[in-house]
Chains A and B, each alone.
Chain A
Amino acid sequence: MNCIKEKRQLSDNVFFMKIDAPLIARERKAGQFIILMVDEEAGERIPLTIADADETAGTISIIFQTVGATTMKLSRLEPGDSLAAVLGPLGRPTDIRGANGEKPGHVVCVGGGIGVAPMHPIAQALKAAGNRVTIIMGARNKSLFVMEDEMRRIAGDDLILMTDDGSSGRKGLVTEPLKELCESGAVDEVIAIGPPIMMKFCALTTRPYGVKTVASLNTIMIDGTGMCGGCRVSVGGKTKFVCVDGPEFDAHQVDWDLMLKRMGAFKPQEAAARDHVCNLFKGI
């Protein structure tokens, strides 16, 4: 049973949870994700990234935003409650620069919104492998930043905060400091995790400079083991499955527009389900 050990509300609709999952905590590597179910019988399977793990305690941490019926139900659970299913760790681990014999370098990690959460273990691993790690965090406003302290511990002065409204750090988009860094010529690799539209624009920003850019995709999935093909994306003109071929791909090769459309496939149904759950909760 996957019992919830800890829960914190980070902002209006962003939550942190620590979950009992000893097998996943033992095996997981940076870049991997889980699939969870809240309800056994009528539940939906949703992919979520792993923000942190403690092998000794046997726990993993997730950070999620309430966007649909399942995340909304998840947000109503409390420590002591159990999840119907947690599967993982899924996907290929991140290929950490400097960890496999090649020379470490300067890696820029761009995290948008709760995309900072999955970036955390990757940035940790990059730092441990001897890279200089610059972290750019972006959010609509100050209250929406997650894991700022953890990221500062990794990047130190190389932490750049960007908000849409200027309530913290610089006012503007993450692509602005990204462009400046590329301009300076001292960037060996960029990793971007966040809303697809942000990742798309990060790819467009780095492309002229020829800087290797990796994006971690979070598409619609059911099984997470290659069976359904619902997560498929077009990368360099070839169909790839995010669950088994990814989740990380060369951001310059991803067909972002197609991916954005595919991610909206069930929008009306998702909205209806969300409203349904919303009304249920209002009734309580």
Chain B
Amino acid sequence: MTAKERMAIEPQAMPEQDAKVRARNMNEVALGYTAEMARREASRCMQCAAKPCMRGCPVAINIPGFLAKAAEGNFEGALAVIRETSLLPAVCGRVCPQEKQCQKFCTMGKLLKDVDKAVAIGRVERFVADLAREKAASAAGKGVPAPSVAPSDRTGRRVAVVGSGPASITCAADCARAGHDVTMFEAFHKAGGVLVYGIPEFRLPKAIVQNEIDGLKALGVKVELNYVVGRTRKLRDLMEKDGFDAVFVGTGAGLPKFMDIEGENLVGVFSANEYLTRANLMKAYDEKGHDTPFWHGRRVAVLGGGNVAMDASRMALRLGAEKVYLVYRRSEAEMPARKEEVHHAKEEGVEFLMLQNAKRVLGDDQGRVVGLECLKYELGEPDASGRRSPVAIPGSEFTLDVDTVVVAVGNASNPLIPATTEGLEVNKRGNIVVDAETNMTSIPGVFAGGDIVLGAATVILAMGEGRRAAAGINAYLAKKGSAS
């Protein structure tokens, strides 16, 4: 196929549920490509020599390689290429901010002078991963067939993985493949971390996450639920008393930030973590019944501009809100959310209030939210992040008529493990300090990765960290093995 022919192929739009319908149900919004669409979209890849897309991928997936296979209709081959470097294609195909990573650098997008016309790498990735999962499910009745490690390959070394989000899943898989005996510890009653409590069903079906956890179990990874390291057992005790040779800490950035404004503790103000956990993990959406109460806001204001803010505002619609505002102090161009989520939120009816910010939450005599006082902003000089910083316009106060406020302005690092582990070095933001190459912490044999190291970031970055830490652990244990 010539470059001209490739350029002539129409970008394949993602089939989606109708905006009005989906805004009131929990089913996945994007329905996924057909095999023909995936093949066509993959054929748009120029197979250029420079492979700029790979530079944009935090784990450097061989993107032209897998697209070439997909273009031939060899979807299994395509998945095999992705799996060389990525563990969670079904998840990353859905939640990666592709327009800021691989697709940002795509030559096709550059030729057509529109990043939206770049090859839809994430959608093809999602298709090949979904296809393999569905095939395996219909063949075996459930789950992906994960290759188990032959007994002769077992090292007899024990690795504890703390947390069960993307960094931990990746680290556990890589350590298990190296033949170590891996136990994963999760505080919640379900494994998956932010993939199950945070990201909603309509964006990432929980069956996909469960499939990844089942894959880990098939690799021999033991999953201990309802076990909070630091409290149920101190981290050092895992090594000194329970016989673990190495520990990976992937506990995430689970400590919600608030705005520090008046009225923020009123009844009807929630962190996005709480709001989404009630809805997702505790199943407030489930019509079959659930015991965890949910706050059914009629008029909801969500504060923030990231993916979590989009998730919370769209969840509010699905749980019956009549009006949902998204309040963000910068302009839409500065929003950190995935472009697709912003687009979907708008389509579904979320009203975006840009360059506005909450000043205080107003309550009645019962302490319940009755309004949100906001200020208007304008963009000033660029700040440390390189984005133009928002400046409040004095006297521009106005009040939004809302009964619910969801604060989605990010997470700080969870202090539980650092506070209960002597000698574990953290920086001034509370993130665990690690060696840049091995991800080992200040305690020999203890490694860390994901948001607890990076601060709140993305699934794929966490996955990359988990992978690097696993390599660090495997090297550390090999050295320890030869020394003893």
Contact = CB atoms under 8 A, between A and B. Distances in A.
Interface of A: 23-24, 27, 32, 37, 39-45, 69-70, 73, 84-90, 222-230, 232-234, 239, 244, 255, 257-258, 261-262, 264-266, 269-270, 273, 276
Interface of B: 187-189, 197, 225-228, 231-233, 254-256, 258, 260, 264-268, 270-271, 273-274, 277-278, 282-283, 286, 288-295, 366-368, 414-416
Given A226-B414, A229-B256, A234-B265, A45 B293 contact: no
Given A224-B228, A225-B187, A239-B258, 16 more contacts: A44-B291, A70-B291, A87-B227, A223-B197, A225-B228, A227-B197, A228-B271, A228-B274, A229-B270, A233-B265, A234-B265, A258-B266, A261-B366, A269-B293, A269-B294, A276-B289
A262 B367 contact: yes
A20 to B, nearest CB: 13
B291 A258 contact: no
A258 B258 contact: no
B414 A225 contact: yes
Contacts of B227: 23, 87
Given A42-B286, A85-B225, A261-B367, A69 B258 contact: no
A231 to B, nearest CB: 9
B287 to A, nearest CB: 11
Contacts of B256: 227-229
A258 B289 CA distance: 30
Contact of B226 (A27, A85, A229, A262): A85
Nearest to B194: A227
A43 B368 CA distance: 26
Contacts of B414: 225-227
A16 to B, nearest CB: 22
A262 B274 CA distance: 14
A73 B289 CA distance: 14
Contacts of A87: 187, 189, 226-228, 232
A258 B255 contact: no
B215 to A, nearest CB: 21
Contacts of B264: 239
B210 to A, nearest CB: 13
Contacts of A223: 187-188, 197, 254, 277
A88 B274 contact: no
A42 B471 CA distance: 39
A255 B414 CA distance: 25
Given A222-B278, A258-B265, A227 B255 contact: yes
B243 to A, nearest CB: 15
A276 B289 CA distance: 10
